[in-house]
Amino acid sequence: MAWVYLILAGLFEIGWPVGLKMAQEDNTRIAGIVIAIVFMAVSGSLLWLAQRHIPIGTSYAVWTGIGAAGTFVVGIVFYGDPTSLARYLGILLIIAGVATLKLAH
């Protein structure tokens, strides 16, 4: 169950940078801030649950890796963030590192 908590924590980790991005616009400022705070609280709580059974270094790296890769994808799909082969390679390296940590656990 700890790995389920950790994966969910990583997915919720995507929500708070998206909320902060939304908060950049006047018409979605309050909603963006609320979204960021809620997602941060849920993500942190799930990470706390996961760390009961998964080492801190592994859980933190997986959590941030899921958040980074997910936010990268959201940025490209919904916000028109730039893409390049080097950026995709960087995300693939993060995903490979997360997978390695899971397999080595």
| Single pTM value for the model | 0.90
Gap between the Cα atoms of 100 and 62, Å rounded: 10
Mean pLDDT of the region 63-84:
96
Q: Up-side HSE of residue 22: CA atoms within 13 Å toward CB? A: 19
How do the domains of the chain map onto residue ranges? 2-104
103 pLDDT above the threshold of 90: no
pLDDT digits (tens, 9 = 90+) for 26-61: 999 999 999 999 999 999 999 999 999 999 999 999
Identify the pLDDT of residue 104. Answer: 85
Q: What is the mean pLDDT of the chain?
A: 96
More confident residue, 27 or 105: 27
Tell me, what's the pLDDT at 82?
A: 96
pLDDT over threshold 80, residue 105: no
Percent of the residues in the chain that have a pLDDT greater than 70, as a whole number: 100
Burial of 39 (0-12, 13-18, 19+ CB in 10 A): buried
